[in-house]
Structure 1
Amino acid sequence: MDNPRIAVIISSTRATRFGEIPARWIYELALARGDMELELIDLRDYPMPFFDEPASNAWVPARNETALRWQRKVAQFDGYIFVTAEYNRGIPAVLKNALDYSYPEWNRKAAAFLGYGSVGGARAVEQLRLNCVELQMAPTRTGVHIQGADFFDALQNGRNLDAIPYITENATVMLDELYWWASVLSAGRAASSEFSAPRLRGADDTLVA
């Protein structure tokens, strides 16, 4: 069996974002395992407008060219690590928008989470778990949360994330879970003909294969 393909998604596009630092850190940690293929995905490279399609692409093909490019990229992976900030107890709007622009591409894939900020981004991550369940994804139990003084030390003083004891330990467990789910679900998708996402409808409301 081939190694599962995993996307590490930087889920904030702010000019002053912190997200690149933990995203590159978890990317390198996962890459060092040697049992996954990794790609770092930056939502800055997919500047989609706020969702303005006729419907979800579960039912109607998207029209926006950037959205179509995003859907093709999402479809390439067996699992995802979402690296997210917490804004007002929720996920960044740009991440929610990116989730909404795809549907079948997420189905029966694995999802893991690295949150940072107030209470380690825990409230944003829990919201994100619910979004992922609705998109028919399998969230890992364990997440990584950079919180409190550790977050501010890393943000303001450039503290190395490896120096935070609980971070690497949690990340190792999370990556173990992600590898298992991504591998099992990949095999399941390949073997099963019983499940299929809703068929797409074209602009004239005819079914598109």
Structure 2
Amino acid sequence: MNKNSKKYILLKLFFTTIYISTFTFGGGFVIITFMKKKFVDELHWIDEEEMLDLTAIAQSSPGAIAVNAAILVGWKTGGLPGMGVAVIGTIISPMVILTIISFFYVAFATNTYIALILKGMQAGVAAVILDVVCSLGANVIKQKNWIHYIILIAAFVATFIFQINVIYIIIISAFVGVIIAVVEQRKGNAS
């Protein structure tokens, strides 16, 4: 099958999202990390800056970040059919796993070994989320724009020191980003 054909892209998108969704634990940021590795590093369907933008949009949109990211990546790589395929691939595994777990919830909740496994997984998930923070932060630093540095530091301080709600930080950052884009566009038009 031709790697540039729509059918190949949709199949690859479906199996990639179902694989990512099946083997990632810990929430949306963990899935974002795996999406970056697959779609940016391996398949080269999306570049790093686009993935950073898609992550920001997915995080700031209502709903689960994993599904939001799947919608955006699917749309970018395969249009409307790609979006549908990516969402289906993303939600199938959690639905099946959670359905099975719900039948055996009492046994899972009281089992000491399962509790220990989940505690161990928490450490691994924290490491993966730290990896996302470092790689996305590195992308911001690579841009060598002092305004982005200020936004990055201010958002960090607002979140961890002043414990300001993340929604407010996202809205303010988006507002600042719009202002920066307008100013830069006006500079470009003036020259």
TM-score by length of 1: 0.24
**Greater helix fraction, Structure 1 or Structure 2:** 2
**Greater strand fraction, Structure 1 or Structure 2:** 1
TM-score by length of 2: 0.25
